[in-house]
């Protein structure tokens, strides 16, 4: 064996086992979420005290899990899991093929895995109602699609359209972002209008972005499932890391009333995750201060993004006695530093003047960054 062969063997081993690990993680997440969906639906239909919870069942579950160290158990997710189960009940027939027997025996759901799935109230899937619609075998779905694929496809009401995107995702090994892009580009509708559907499919998949192990491992759902810190999925350059490390302490030590709250604060807007670099609460201004860092020249989109964060905080986080949040945008590029302040619809000129006095001056921040990092 020569050196090149040694290198290729190690590389191949790493890539193969990395893929195996990511597939195992994803499969566990998919099955867990399916079972959670089953539990919820069964409780809603047959739970002894279901009437006491009614419409607030999912929100009560979310609050209960909020007091545990299990992440990601939100009302929106529970609703998503329930829909996932109702659309793919047939997955229960093959769960025992993907989970070790000793694990299956410990699951309360083991009784219905092999034989009782078709007797469940929701066992008839949408696709079963349309005899001319092909159903992709559950083992293939589970081995080829990540849970995030399922969640995206489950949003589609048309059973035929769902099967279409299942097949195309498997055929093209699409990433979730690619699946979303194709759905938004009306690929299904365009295929229906196309005379040569096979040629269109080939063209689409040549340009498609393929799924990689990193896509699964770095997915927020996987991070929550593994109990890892949110920052595990945030890739930062050394410069960004250094600035954030020091900027946090710089603001705290300025004595202007900054109280640190969070770093890489993850927020969910619609179905997309966003990360705010630093979040403070200002005890004098009685408002949140959001800091967003860009290690590049200022672009209009940066200000728009920060304003989106501010509107989110104003709507979802701000308390009745809080003032509207304030944002600090820092852009740096090869010796040039720009600091911009943003507000979420501030109308009171007195408060605007006050925050300009209490927050560090633009010149202070610009000089600090230039001196320390550029």
pLDDT on residue 336: 65
pLDDT on residue 127: 42
pLDDT on residue 350: 47
pLDDT on residue 222: 67
How far apart CA 14 and CA 364 sit, in angstroms, is: 47
pTM (global) more than 0.75: no
- Blockwise average pLDDT, block size 10, the chain, 374 residues: 81 84 84 90 84 84 85 88 91 74 52 40 43 77 90 91 91 86 84 70 67 64 64 53 70 73 83 83 86 79 86 88 86 67 56 60 72 56
pLDDT on residue 129: 47
How far apart CA 33 and CA 148 sit, in angstroms, is: 11
How far apart CA 287 and CA 173 sit, in angstroms, is: 46
Spell out the residues 6+ positions from residue 217 whose beta carbon is closer than 8 angstroms to its own.
21, 22, 25
- The answer to whether 263 touches 231, Cβ cutoff 8 Å, is yes
Query: Which runs of consecutive H residues, i.e. helices, occur in the chain?
Result: 3-46, 50-53, 57-66, 75-87, 95-98, 101-106, 110-113, 138-144, 147-153, 159-172, 176-184, 187-193, 197-207, 213-217, 220-226, 238-253, 300-316, 349-358, 362-373
Query: Which runs of consecutive H residues, i.e. helices, occur in 290-348?
Result: 300-316
pLDDT on residue 187: 83
Let me know if 101 is exposed, middle or buried by CB neighbors in 10 A (0-12, 13-18, 19+): exposed
Let me know if 353 is exposed, middle or buried by CB neighbors in 10 A (0-12, 13-18, 19+): exposed
Structure tokens given for 127: 């696709």
Domains of the chain: 3-225 (no CATH), 236-373 (3.40.1350.10)
Structure tokens given for 19: 């893929």
- The answer to whether 99 touches 141, Cβ cutoff 8 Å, is no
How far apart CA 264 and CA 291 sit, in angstroms, is: 10
């Amino acid at each position: 064996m020569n050196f090149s062969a040694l290198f290729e063997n190690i590389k191949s081993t790493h890539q193969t086992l990395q893929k195996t690990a990511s597939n195992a993680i994803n499969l566990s997440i998919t099955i867990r979420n399916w079972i959670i969906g089953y539990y919820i639906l069964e409780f809603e239909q047959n739970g002894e005290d279901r009437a006491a919870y009614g419409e607030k069942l999912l929100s009560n579950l979310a609050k209960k899990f909020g007091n545990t160290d299990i992440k990601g158990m939100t009302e929106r997710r529970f609703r998503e899991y329930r829909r996932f189960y109702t659309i793919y009940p047939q997955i229960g027939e093959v769960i025992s093929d993907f989970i070790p027997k000793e694990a299956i025996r410990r699951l309360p759901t083991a009784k219905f895995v092999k034989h009782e799935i078709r007797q469940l109230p929701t066992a008839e899937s949408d696709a079963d109602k349309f005899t001319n619609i092909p159903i992709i075998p559950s083992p293939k779905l589970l081995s080829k699609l990540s849970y995030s694929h399922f969640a995206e496809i489950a949003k589609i009401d048309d059973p035929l359209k769902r099967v279409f995107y299942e097949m195309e995702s498997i055929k093209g090994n699409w990433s979730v972002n690619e699946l979303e892009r194709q759905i938004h580009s009306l690929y299904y509708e365009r295929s229906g209008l196309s005379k040569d559907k096979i040629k269109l499919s080939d063209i689409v998949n040549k340009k498609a972005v393929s799924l990689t192990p990193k896509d699964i491992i770095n997915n927020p759902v996987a991070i929550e499932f593994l109990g890892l810190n949110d920052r595990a999925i945030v890739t930062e350059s050394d410069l960004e890391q250094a600035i954030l490390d020091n900027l946090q302490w710089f603001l705290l030590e300025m004595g202007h009333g900054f109280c640190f709250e969070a770093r890489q604060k993850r927020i969910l807007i619609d179905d997309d995750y966003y990360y705010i670099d630093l979040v403070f609460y200002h005890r004098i201004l009685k408002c949140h201060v959001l800091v967003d860092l860009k290690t590049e020249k200022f672009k209009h989109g940066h200000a728009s993004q920060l304003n989106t964060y501010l509107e989110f905080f104003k709507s979802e986080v701000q308390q009745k006695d809080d003032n509207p949040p304030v944002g600090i945008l820092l852009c740096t590029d090869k010796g040039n530093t720009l600091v911009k302040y943003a507000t979420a619809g501030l109308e009171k000129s007195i408060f605007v003047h006050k925050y300009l006095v209490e927050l560090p001056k633009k010149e202070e921040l610009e000089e600090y960054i230039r001196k320390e990092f550029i």
